Each structure stands twice: as C-alpha cells, then as structure tokens.
Amino acid sequence: MSVIQVNGLSKHFGTLKAVDHLDFSVTEGEVFGFLGQNGSGKSTTIRMLLSLIHPTSGSIELFGKPLNKYRDEILEEVGAIIERPDLYPYLTAKEHLQLFAKLRNKHVGENSIQDTLVKVGLADRSKDKVQTFSLGMKQRLGIAIALLHNPSLIILDEPTNGLDPQGISDIRNLIKQLAQQEGKTVLVSSHLLSEIEQMATQIMIIHKGKKVADGPIQKLLDPNKMIVHIKTTNDAQTLQIILSGSFSNYLLQRNDGIYLRLPDYEIPLLNTSLVNAGVGLIGVETRNSLEDYFLQVTSNTI
C-alpha cells in the first residue's frame, strides 16, 4: 500500500520553480530517504506534504486520500518535525508532551508520555526545563512530540541536527525500530548520507526541483558500477595504457586523478593488466557509497 503518492507536484515562487513535476510514492512500513542539496526543493516538498503551503500544480494523496480534501483527517495520522522544533524554554520535557497532547485534543496517559521520552533518550531529563537543553536534546524532544499521538506516517526533516555521534546512532536505531518493529512509515530528509545509507530501504534524490534518481539503495549502489581510483607513480603513462586497451570504455573524465566505473569482478583484471604493463601501482581504491552516487547524479564531481 502506498502511504504517500505524489504526481506532477510543482511549486513556483514567481519565476523560481522550487519543485518541478515531482512524482514519487512511499510504501507502508518503509524508511524513505529524501535527499538533495541545499535549495533543491526538499523542504518545499515536505511543507506541501504537510499542507503548510499549497502546490502550484499536481496532486498529493496520503493513505489513499487526496490531501486537499481530507486534510484534517489525514494529518491526524501524521507526525512531523521540520528543521528545529519550536519549544518553550520554561516548560519541562514532560510538560511539552502534555501541552501538545492537549493541543491535539488527545488523552495521553502518563505511561505513554514516559515511554515516548524513553524512546528518544530523554527519560532522565523529563522534569528539566528546555532552557537547559542542548540543541541535540531539543531535537530529541521535537521527535518525541512528533511520536506522541502514535502516527502511522512520520516525516522528519534533518532529525539528527546538533546530535553527537552517539545521539545520531540512537536516532538512526529509533527510526529503524519504528519501521521494522512498529510498522510505521518514515520519510526522512538528511544531509548525513552515511546515515541514510544505513537506515533507508528506498531513496529519492532531487536536484533543482526535479527528481534525478529513486529506487532501492541496493539497486542504486550497483556493484556492477563501482568507482575505482587508481594511484600510480606515473599517471600519464598509466592513462595511455588504459586508453589503448579494453578498459578505455570505463574511464571517467576527471582532472584530479584516474577514475573508472566498472563491475567489481573486473577490478582484479585491471590490477593485473596494469602490473603486467609495468605500471608502478601505489593503490586501487574502490568506492560505492551513497555519497559517491549522490555526487554523481547531482554534480559533475564524479
């Protein structure tokens, strides 16, 4: 079942096309990584999904219902944190959850409040005022507020901002737990590509408002398209050898070294052919990370 279905979604601000004919879907129970450079249209898209701004054109369906017709009903099933959460410095963490429960007209018991604070690692600070919290702790509390009413869909925009490595790991594990153990659907936007790579099952990358890639991470990071960086004692000689042989079709045009994109099973053959040709081989570095793929589809870096 598609929890999110977006078709032809566009948002224009004057002559600026912030989002340009975006199509994508998010399936129930998956962690969906939403990626893009600053200014790519991620936050604008998320704000349209939450009905904070209206599309110029296109359609959004959540839980199989059009957002523009069933807004209030749909948003009852959605929890979200957009960038930095707005909090009250003189209220405690527990008082925040009590307040937001009242704002939603929801009865939330003390046990549920405590369980939510435990999930985000704030149980031992539940009675402390937010003015004493670090930025990372405020992020955790924002996530707790988003989870308080037990939503089916959770939308998180940069949820690990300000967190230390342990905090980032805790939030990553929480997101995976929400999907795998509780059946929640999570759309998460983050600049930490290594984190998305570890938690997401599907990703979408947008660039200048347009979708440039989407699909399962395992499919996108295809081992048949490994990026290989060759370090030698004589790059000019090595380049000529590659250009004159069967590996020339794999060569990438770069000015900062010798790079090829080729299947992983070809790497030992490349290594042997260079050594046999008398190349002073220093090293062969393979790269197939989400960061490499992201740079490949959003710039001319790779």
Digits of tens for pLDDT over the chain (302 positions)?
A: 899 999 999 999 999 999 999 999 999 999 999 999 888 999 999 999 999 999 999 999 999 999 999 999 999 999 998 877 789 999 999 999 999 888 877 778 888 899 999 988 899 999 999 999 988 889 889 999 999 989 999 999 988 877 888 888 888 888 999 999 999 999 999 888 888 989 999 999 999 999 998 999 878 877 677 788 899 999 888 999 999 988 988 888 777 789 888 888 888 998 898 999 899 989 888 777 788 778 777 875 44
Sign of CA dihedral 264, 269, 270, 272: positive
Domains and CATH numbers, the chain: 2-219 (3.40.50.300), 223-298 (3.30.70.980)
Residue 99 has a pLDDT of: 92
Dihedral (CA of 19, 23, 28, 34) sign? negative
User: What is residue 156's predicted lDDT score, i.e. its pLDDT?
Assistant: 94
pLDDT at position 158 is 87
Res 125: pLDDT? 94
**pLDDT the model gives residue 301:** 44
Q: Taking a C-beta distance cutoff of 8 angstroms, is the pair 69, 61 a contact? A: no
pTM for the whole thing? 0.80
Query: 103, 53, 55, 46: which is closest to 80 by C-alpha?
Result: 46
DSSP 223: G
Spatial CB neighbours of 262, under 8 Å, sequence gap ≥ 6 = 225, 226, 228, 247, 250, 270
Backbone angles phi, psi at 185, to 5 degrees: -105, 130
